[in-house]
Structure 1
Amino acid sequence: MGLFDKLFPHRPPGGSPRAYFKTLTAYQPVYTTYRGGLYEMALTRAAVAAFARHCSKLHLGIAGDFRPELRPVLGQQPNPWMDASKFLARAATIYMVQNNAFIVPLEDAAGRLTGYYPVLPQQTSVREYGGQAYLQYEFWGGQQAAVELSRAGLLTQHQYEDDFFGSDNRPLAPTLQVMHTQDEGIVNGIKNATTIRFLARLSANLKPKDITAERRRFAEDNLAGNDTGVMMFDSKYADVKQIESAALVVNPKQQELIRGNVFEYFGTNEKILTNTYTEDEWNAYYEGCIEPFAIQLSLVLTAMTFTPEQIRAGAAVIATANRLQYASNNTKLNIVTQLFDRGFLTHNQGLEIFNMSPVSDGDRRFIRKEYAEVSDVSKLNTEPVEPKEGKGNGDHTGDS
């Protein structure tokens, strides 16, 4: 059994759904994947890869007491072919490049959910069969499959025109074209600069075949086989000049404009791509890019995993990140100091913030004893204690 059959062991009864699901916007609910372009350019791939790397560090956990057997699946191995880090990176990459990321459920023989797999179909459409909506996939290998929309996961961004799918990256196409043209121009300029090394002007008019023969003779005598360092030419040549090859550099202002367009489109910046960000810069990137993806992924996986009744009872899949890993040591110290003795953090949680190993018996919580609940303040003895004589109160007896 191949990967396709393991991902899609079931088929809709009576064949594949054919009729398109009717939408409010009257758009045909079809999304076609565009291969190439955005992910093939160095700068845009760097922006996507940085996003995927940070998303791969999210932790998938379960809130509530339902489906405890899925905790290790979400936290360690969402499917037999990917660990949790690869699953998150793959889903984030597809999401950023295509503005749509599809997750299909893995099930056992009894139809129980056992895992999750992100797929990249060539085309996806929402079809209707028997009064139920299906996501129908067509893959590059020619395979077709369908899964109930209620069972599948769909993450989108830039969703405006379509009721189900996010729009493509057409607004970035002019910038990609300029980037491609600049890259080609640099390559061709370097080739030309290294190909033509000398310019020789003949003093007389010659036939084309004689010019070709003379060019070859001049090169063999003065360039290829010359070990003296001296070039000689006779009166056939009016002038010979050496062409100095110069590196072709793109206009810095134009290059900055291109990079600015890409950074604005992906919500990133130079420091995120080069891992030179500060604590505040990381927090801004997390809140602007990583957190929205984590929230949507949590909601999508929650809907795939639990029934509406279980969700109302508090069951949820939560994607979290330890943002304190990127904080400065001073910030970490202040947080641990302020929260540990107030019972917010355990000993092991404080160690985790500093990337240190847990200790045995380190999961207890502590509070400072002088704290009391507001409602119990009136019960406290607030009267000053009178010092006792002879107990270091500063009074001395006897002669001085």
Structure 2
Amino acid sequence: MGLFQSIFGKIRLGKPTAGFWTTLDGYTPTFTSWGGELYESEIVRAVVNATATHISKLRVTVQGSANPKLQTRLRQGPNEWQTWGQFLYRLSTILDMQNTAFIVPVLNEFGETTGMFPVLPSGCEVVQYGGAPWLRYTFRTGQKAAIEMSRCGIMTKFQYKSDIFGENNRALTPTMELVNLQNQGISEAVKNGATFRFAAKMNNFSSDADLAKERQRFSKENLQGEGGGVLLFPSTYTDIKQLESKPYVVPTEEMQRIRTSVFDYFGMNEEVLQNKAYGDAWSAFYEGRIEAFSVQFSDVATKMLFTERERAAGSLLMATANRLQYMSTNEKINYAKEMGDRGFVMIDEIREVFNLPPLPGEMGKRLPIRGEYYLIGTDGSVVKKGEETKNGTQDH
């Protein structure tokens, strides 16, 4: 079975009759990007790729006791075709390009959810079937599919007019037109820079036909040779002048302003795009872009996969990242000294910051505390590490 049939092939809707579908959301989204080629822009693709690459490094964990079979599958990956990194990368790319990303369940022959998959429809609408809202997708191949809205996940950006879907990217059109014009200007400048043009006054020609023949002869003998050489101007030409083309190119400051507009729209900066960000710069990017995606995806996936009762009992799916790994080496050392010595983090958590594996067994689950620190009890008693306590045991 193909991917489409594996996901949507088991859903049965029966034969719809006239007036069977009822549109619930009057807003019809347009899932088209700028000129249909927003992702074909070099700067846009670089920005979207940088964001998706960092998002693909999120660690997806499942917690709780509900549906252990599903949890086991999800720990291995979102579906049988993708890893979690591939799933998150594609989901992030779709969300940036469409401002709406759909996650649909992968079902087995019994209609049970065994995973999830990000889909890219060319259009989607909310309809009513059997008294419940459904999402009806239309794909670029012309195929259509529908599934209960309660079983799907919807992530959005720039949500305004629609109650369910995000807006399109038309707000970026003026900037993209400037980017396109600038690229064309650079291309024309390169072409004109390799072209030599001359203007000259021609004498002793009595007719337009003679003038045309002479122009063709001159071009053939001087401009179409394969061996190179020099241009030979006979005495019939006077006032010979070379024409220099000076195409307009957007100044560097204006080019940077265009790039900044793209960065502002997608929440990106130059340091992250060129893999130069660490420490506070990385933390700012994480909190502004990665964490926002992580929180929304975690909420959407949890609601999609678990019932209200299961969520209340603590079952959830969460995407997290250790942003401390992007600190400089000195910052990591200071973090380990200040936080580890006071017992705020475990040994394995400190090792993770340095990209080290956890210690075997329970060794890494302990909290290291320096010996000169004192523990003040609720009754006001003071105990130093290594000293005997009142009950004869030793505090470690």
TM-score by length of 2: 0.86
Post-superposition CA distance 1:17-75 (Å, at most 9, x none): 9433435xxxx143232152321211122111111111111111112233344445444
Aligned-partner SS, 1:172: helix
Deviates more, 1:261-270 or 1:112-121: 261-270
Q: 1:32 corresponds to which residue?
A: 30
CA contact under 8 A between 1:135 and 1:147: conserved in structure 2? yes
Cα distance between partner residues in 1 of 2:53 and 2:228:
57
Measured in 1, the distance between the counterparts of 2:133 and 2:59 equals 31
Instruction: Classify the secondary structure of the residue corresponding to 1:375.
Output: coil
| Correspondence 1:378 to 2:378 | no
- Taking a change above 3 Å as real, the CA distance of residues 72 and 210 of structure 1, as seen in their structure-2 partners, is farther
Q: Is the CA contact (8 Å cut-off) linking 2:57 and 2:85 kept in structure 1?
A: yes
Do 2:121 and 2:137's aligned partners in 1 also have CA atoms closer than 8 Å? yes
Confirm or deny: 8 A CA contact 1:95 1:156 kept in the other structure.
yes
Alpha-carbon distance between aligned partners in 2 of 1:93 and 1:254, rounded to the nearest angstrom: 27
Higher alpha-carbon deviation: 260-269 or 248-257: 248-257
**Which of 19, 22, 35 is matched with 1:20 structurally?**
22
Deviates more, 1:225-234 or 1:76-85: 225-234
Distance across 2 between alignment mates of 1:67 and 1:228? 78
Gaps in structure 2 of 5+ consecutive residues: 385-396
User: 2:348 touches 2:358 (CA, 8 Å); kept in 1?
Assistant: yes
Partner of 1:354: 354
Change (3 A) 1:227 1:304: closer
2:188 equivalent in structure 1: 188
CA drift of 1:148 comes to 0.4
Does residue 1:265 correspond to 2:265, yes or no? yes
**By how many angstroms is 1:194 displaced?**
2.8
Greater shift, 262-271 or 354-363, is seen at 354-363
Equivalent residues, number:
377
Equivalent residues of 2:374, 2:382 under 8 A apart: no
The answer to whether 1:125 aligns with 2:125 is yes
Gap change, CA 1:228 and 1:76, over 3 Å in 2: closer
- 1:359 partner letter: L
Q: Post-superposition shift, 1:85?
A: 0.7
Q: Which residue of 1 aligns with 2:320?
A: 320
Mean Cα deviation higher: 56-65 or 10-19: 10-19
Counterpart in 1 of 2:148? 148
Cα-to-partner distance string for 1:101-126 (whole Å, 9 max, x where unaligned): 00000122232221110000011000
Q: Distance in 2 between matches of 1:321 and 1:56?
A: 10
For 2:92, the aligned partner's letter is: A
Q: For residue 157 of structure 1, what is the aligned residue in structure 2?
A: 157
Name which one, 1 or 2, has greater alpha-carbon Rg. 1
Map Cα deviations across residues 150-206 of structure 1 (whole Å, 9 max, x no partner): 000100111111111111111111211222222223323433443444444323556
Any stretches of 5+ residues in structure 1 without a counterpart? 382-400
Counterpart Cα distance in 2 of 1:227 and 1:380 = 94
1:281 aligns with 2:281: yes
Q: How high is the TM-score relative to the length of structure 1?
A: 0.85
CA distance in 2 between partners of 1:190 and 1:347 (Å): 59
Question: What is the percent sequence identity of the aligned residues?
Answer: 41
Greater Cα offset, 358-367 or 256-265: 358-367
What does residue 61 of structure 1 align with? Answer: 61
